[in-house]
Amino acid sequence: MVTTSSVRFQGDGAMMNAFVAMPEGGGANPGLIVIHEMYGLNDNIRDIATRFADEGYAAMAPNLYSRVGGAARFCMTQLFKAFIKLKMDQRAVRDLRGAVAHLQSMNGVNWDRVGVVGFCMGGGFSLLLACASNQVKTSVVFYGRNPSPIDSVAGLNCPLLFMYGEDDKMIAKGVPKLRSALESHGKSFETQSYRGAGHSFMNDTRGGFRPDAADDAWKRTVAFLDATLKDRN
For the chain, the first-to-last Cα distance in angstroms comes to: 25
Helix (H, G, I), strand (E, B) or coil at 77: helix
CA dihedral 18, 201, 84, 42 (to 10 degrees): -30
**8 A C-beta contact, residue 131 and residue 152:** yes
Out of 120, 185, 215, 226, the active site residue is 120
> Where do runs of H (alpha helix) occur along 106-202?
121-132, 175-184
Taking the C-alpha atoms of residue 48 and residue 36, their distance in angstroms, rounded to an integer, is 10
Amino acid at 182: L
Q: Is 158 a catalytic residue?
A: no
- Per the CB < 8 A criterion, the answer to whether 154 and 199 are in contact is no
CA 217-31-201 angle, to 5 degrees, is: 20
User: Which is the catalytic residue, given 95, 131, 158, 168?
Assistant: 168
131 is catalytic: no
Catalytic residue among 36, 95, 158, 199: 199
Please give the Cα distance from 3 to 21 (Å, whole number).
6
> Closest Cα to residue 86, out of 125, 143, 123?
125
Quote the CA–CA distance of 174 and 46 in Å, as a whole number: 29
Beta strands at 58-62 and 29-35: parallel, antiparallel or unpaired:
parallel
Q: Please identify every residue annotated as catalytic.
A: 120, 168, 199
